[in-house]
A and B are shown apart, each in its own frame.
Chain A
């Protein structure tokens, strides 16, 4: 391999990291800084800690190596710009083999991503902010999706617990929302009540229809 250019990044806590040009370019922010001529010395990243930058670099390295291997097998799914050379390589490998390899690559990437993003909330949010600041779209999407997955399917109380959120509605306000917006879920106690009633068959079909209509749309 030709001698790849190397850049040095410095975090807010004073640590330095050396990375290849291709890895650095995964971050649009760093790429722009280099193109504007700031690559000779240390590239300062005052908004990123070393702990987080380690994670970011891990992501960038994986992204680069994944792209390299995809050049041999993919059908052009990668959205990177300068990928004209892959067309020639593609012709060299027979179709069936390519498909199987491609499948395996995608599978492996998914698994890697799941493990990679299985982190503390605090680290996750720091990573999200870093991805935003460094302008690394894939990482931003991955982290945001992970955060969303921590919200999906939970009741309001569970969400509050997960993220340490205070319920700051007054009882009147809460009632207001439930009646007019009624986008909410039942509280665990209410679920219990309803569940019991259904189990004990205390609802008339009309009552059940009524309740279902009033509040069901958010819990389907």
Chain B
């Protein structure tokens, strides 16, 4: 499908190279991402998990409408860090593309395809006249048709990569360092392990409490993908377990010291 290029009156590009080879607008967009609330993604053995920091809702605000995780198709979910309004645009385009792919190819999108698509849109906006880059990084999780779980990350420059575990947003470096230390394929082989690792990771930088965290799990039951956002009680229970495990570890450390 060919695209018609309309000569715009806004001929000056906003994203231009600096003398030393930087695209400052893209870098500023990445700064905007670093101000956004944290999101963590983990690829488990048989599931994929997303955990996001929930910003404290104002008193009069209905917090059910503040959702930082979006379902793009039955088998793909996305969390993001950065400008919420920009995210809404990308989510809509991605949702349409998921359906369009099913129509033209008679197959659900692969995670790689949709990550490439989202990244492609972002890249276009770094090379378009009169437009600014998208100020968000996304974490895409889901299952391919062949039943394998995947996690992809895109950033404002339009680059995308596959990850085993990653974090975006505020303090993403801290969380990533934690994940690099603690992630092993065995620890995330089952769903509970993956969920706990995601929670532990996000609790490094977020205050403990079910009202501060949202967690979603993409699992595949008998070939049918299922997306569940854990209810608050389950979250509290898991957080309590993690607290207990942390205390036990601290005890062991103290005992070893003596």
Partners in one complex: no
Give me the interface of A with B, judged by CB distance under 8 Å. Answer: none
Chain B contacts to A: CB under 8 angstroms: none
